[in-house]
Amino acid sequence: MSTINEDCETLQTATVLATPDVVDFLYTCDTHLTDPGFATLVPSEPAKPQISSEEIERIKKEYEEKQKGKKGKEDAKKKESEKDKEKEKDEKKDKGDSKTVAVPKKATSPTAAPTPPAPSTPSHQKYTLHRQIFQMRQDEHKKRRQAKEVKEIAPKFPIAPRSNVS
């Protein structure tokens, strides 16, 4: 673990380490960021592999072929069910019970819902502060908070007697 010395440029840096919810932040120099005892670079998510346009076209064709196969099967089933319905209608007409009402099918058109724009991802590097450095930082904040509380509470207590008791 390196220590801050005269060569450290924390007073002249624009590099800041902050907690995700920005409750605490710490100015640091670039030299400290390279020190493994101070902070470690969090590896960024690997880039998604690029798919060539040829492969996309091939996949589209396969998908369309599958959809055509499904439609062919569905059409055959619809024709069979229609034939069955027609037979039932003919039977009902023969009996004199023709009270069926044809219900028109509603056309369902897929509407393209506007997609919200993707939130912009931060372009900065992420670091994880070493556990001991983080603990020292928390202890320092705790001491400051306790000292402030003591200054606020101390005047409220009675003063101890200063005379000698004999």
Residue 136: phi and psi, rounded to 5, are: -60, -40
CA distance 17 to 4: 16
| Residue 52 clears pLDDT 70, i.e. is over it | yes
| pLDDT number for residue 100 | 46
Query: In whole angstroms, how far apart are CA 114 and each of 7, 91, 107?
Result: 54, 50, 21
pLDDT digits (tens, 9 = 90+) for 68-105: 888 888 877 877 888 777 777 776 666 554 444 444 45
What is the DSSP secondary structure assignment for residue 66, as one 8-state letter?
H
Q: What is the mean pLDDT of residues 140-155?
A: 92
What one-letter code names the amino acid at 73? K
SS3 for 108?
coil
| pLDDT number for residue 114 | 55
